[in-house]
A and B are shown apart, each in its own frame.
Chain A
Amino acid sequence: MSAMPAAPEGTPPDGAAARRPLPPRPRNEWRAAVRPAIISLVSIVIVFGGLALWITSSAQWPRVQLQFFNLDAMIAAFPRVLQGFWVSMRIWLTALLCIGLWALVLAVVRSLRSPWFTPFRLMVVVYIDIFRGIPVLLLVLLFGFGIPALNLPGLPNSGLFWGSVAMVLSYSAYVAEIYRSGIDAVHEGQWAAAKSLGLSEWQTMIYAVLPQALRNVLPALMNIVVALQKDVALLSVIGVRDAVREAQIYTAQTFNYSSLVVAAGLFLLATIPMARLADYVTRKDRERRLQRAG
């Protein structure tokens, strides 16, 4: 027998009509909410306080503080590191735009099915293989040092430009594959429906498939956006005066690493909100899928 609540006095045995459900168990709402919070707080203070005490009381701490967390050095380095960081973020945004568009072109060309596109599809396959297979750093060095050295007429000569081009080419290969997975995930029936309505392959892509594909891959794209935000720091190796470069210059002059910590702090300030946004988008996307499935 299952544990049925006993029917109240005077109810007929089958008594659905007169039956009243049990009331909720009385709870002290305030205590239920506050007690865990207080426990967490106390626990945090004990653990982190203990850690801080242990670290700062060690014999090496003053040296670490002097080298990495020197407030005077931080203040002195801050303006130029911030200026470099601004350069980093501008590169990031520009590259993002270029990657988003160029990768879309690659993915669409690769996904079109008409035999006329075969040579272009092949080109895209080779492109993706090459640029996914070479480390970004190597590409940045090759483009950023190599091409300006050629002194090509009519083309920009700056390391910043060619280094950014390398980033865009490399990242586009990854992003194109993400787009393509989104395009492939669109149900075959959508193609059949579009074709039966007379839409050309191109129109099918633009009106029916891509909007769904982009929505499918938004979470994956957001993670790329965050990764790129950090990877623009690679351009410092070819002398682009971004946050890392500026911090390094300061370090070289003073033999103090606090400027690098400032740069790290600035990057965190930018990447943590982006990562949270990525998490949010991912969660929303999962909810949407569950809703549709349910």
Chain B
Amino acid sequence: MSIPRIAIDGVTKYYGQTLVLDEVSLDVAPHEVVCLIGASGSGKSTLLRCINRLVDFDHGEIRLDGISVEDAQFGHTGLQKRIGIVFQSYNLFPHMSVLDNITLAPRKVHKIAREAAEARARELLGLFGMAEHALSYPEQLSGGQQQRVAIMRSLATRPEVLLLDEVTAALDPELIGEVLRIIRQLKDEGMTMVIVTHEMGFARDVADSVCFLEGGRILERGDPKTMFAAPQNERTEKFLQRIIEAGRL
């Protein structure tokens, strides 16, 4: 068996005295799409943020292609180049145009020439149907468009892994589709993704496997269709039951 793209190995994380992740282990194969589901506060965002070291964890190890993310060889920016993350609230830089948002990291962090960085940005904009918005500012765009820009920004350095944290949660229902379509497109191109989502229909559709988190532990992992139809763990069953009652599955 080949080594996983991401190997999470017994990761434990505290915020102060609060245990947030409790010996979480999870392997993600190259080109695999894993969805994390679970109630609010179960530690999904924290797990994502540990993978690209936005936050540090207390115990355990996370490896990217077999090399610990804490290894010195990644330096300050090597990991960020290879793992992109997109947030629920977009977090675009409001004072920069779409083009500048996308090219900031390639130019300033990875020292790519402006022409090359902009060429890459325009390629992405074209790919995601936003070519005419290159010079717009974030506040001139709809939520769905802003989130698409955020995705492009994280793709600018051609990462191998993309982490998505509830990227449609802040969007109006009619704008969710356009963002989900892009994620599906990325899956078809073979992007490895870890996705936190409350869109169960989408998870069932796009995920190769689904993990259910509760209290900082992964209680169940499985193929989405099997798991949604017949969850093994009673906690998963309860959670899915609530989701169904809320009309989201």
Contacts and interface: CB of A to CB of B under 8 A. Distances in A.
Contacts of A223: none
Chain A residues touching B, majority SS: helix
B108 A207 contact: yes
B63 to A, nearest CB: 19
B73 interface: no
B94 to A, nearest CB: 7
Nearest to A288: B139
Nearest to B110: A198
A72 B76 CA distance: 73
Contact of A198 (B76, B87, B95, B139): B76
A276 interface: no
Contact of B52 (A196, A200, A211, A212): A196
Interface residues of B, number: 25
B95 A203 contact: no
Interface in A202-219: 203, 207-208, 211-212, 215
A195 B52 CA distance: 10
A192 interface: yes
A292 B76 contact: no
A17 interface: no
A282 B95 CA distance: 18
A189 B45 CA distance: 13
A206 to B, nearest CB: 9
B26 to A, nearest CB: 20
A78 B78 CA distance: 67
Given A211-B95, A215-B95, A197 B87 contact: no
26 contacts: A187-B91, A189-B91, A190-B93, A192-B91, A193-B87, A193-B92, A195-B80, A196-B85, A196-B154, A197-B105, A197-B109, A198-B76, A198-B79, A198-B80, A198-B81, A198-B105, A198-B109, A198-B157, A199-B104, A199-B108, A200-B76, A203-B108, A207-B108, A211-B95, A212-B95, A215-B95
**Complex A-B, nearest 7 residue pairs according to Cβ-Cβ distance, in ascending order:** A198-B80, A198-B77, A193-B91, A197-B105, A189-B91, A198-B109, A196-B85
Interface of B: 52, 54, 76-77, 79-81, 84-85, 87, 89, 91-95, 104-105, 108-110, 139, 153-154, 157
